[in-house]
């Protein structure tokens, strides 16, 4: 399965579930939505930014294109899932709501995925990549190990006169 498809499916399901949950709360407890809406947006932003940062940290090839395609597909899928979820769980929303969900709603979801993902790609790319298993061996030094104290002590023992 391509990486963009997995990301799009997961993010579409998460965004639709969040939207349906907020709509359900708004119907039954309309005054309790402010904090819940803020927390929901923070979680949605955190998921996209965190996942993209991990992709960038692991140096996945084509990660920018992957996230662009995933954001566009997730937006459209989230629109369909949102209308279906509201129809089943909240207020029997009809097909007439699909137009709004696939235009302005999809644009909002695309931005809500793409902007945090871009930030995550930027931050993750600045982090040192993880060591791959088997690429570092004991006693070898690379540029990141040049100033460690254990390597310096080992070099001093080699140069010391034996007595």
Digit-by-digit pLDDT tens for the chain (163 residues) are 888 999 999 999 999 999 999 989 988 888 878 889 999 999 999 999 999 999 999 999 999 999 999 999 999 999 999 999 988 888 877 787 888 888 888 999 999 999 999 999 999 999 888 887 655 545 444 444 444 444 554 555 555 555 5
55 touches 121 (CB < 8 A): yes
pLDDT of 160 reads: 54
pLDDT of 140 reads: 47
pLDDT of 146 reads: 45
Q: Which of 113-152 are b and which e, b meaning 16 or more Cβ less than 10 Å from the residue's Cβ? A: bbebbbebbeebbeeeeeeeeeeeeeeeeeeeeeeeeeee
Parse the chain into domains and list their residue ranges. Answer: 3-127
Q: CA dist 28 to 84, 91, 158, Å?
A: 19, 11, 75
- What's this model's pTM, rounded to 2 decimal places? 0.74
* Structure tokens, 154: 């080992």
* Distance, first Cα to last Cα, the chain: 65
pLDDT of 144 reads: 47
CA distance 98 to 28: 23
Put residue 133 in one of left, alpha, beta given phi > 0 → left and psi -120 to 50 → alpha: beta
Using N-to-C axis directions, what is the helix angle for 34-57 and 106-126, rounded to 10°?
Answer: 50
């Amino acid at each position: 399965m391509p990486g963009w498809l997995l990301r799009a499916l997961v993010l579409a399901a998460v965004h639709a579930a969040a939207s349906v949950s907020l709509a359900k709360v708004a119907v039954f407890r309309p005054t309790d939505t402010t904090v819940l809406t803020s927390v929901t947006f923070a979680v949605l932003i955190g998921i996209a930014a965190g996942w993209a940062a991990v992709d960038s940290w692991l140096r996945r090839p084509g990660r920018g294109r992957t996230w662009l395609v995933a954001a566009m597909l997730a937006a459209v899928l989230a629109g369909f899932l949102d209308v279906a979820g509201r129809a089943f769980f909240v207020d029997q929303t009809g097909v007439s709501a699909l137009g709004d969900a696939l235009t302005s709603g999809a644009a909002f979801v695309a931005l809500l995925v793409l902007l945090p993902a871009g930030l995550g790609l930027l931050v993750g790319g600045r982090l040192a990549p993880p060591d791959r298993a088997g690429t570092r061996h004991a006693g070898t030094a690379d540029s990141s190990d040049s100033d460690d104290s254990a390597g310096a002590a080992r070099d001093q023992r080699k140069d010391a006169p034996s007595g």
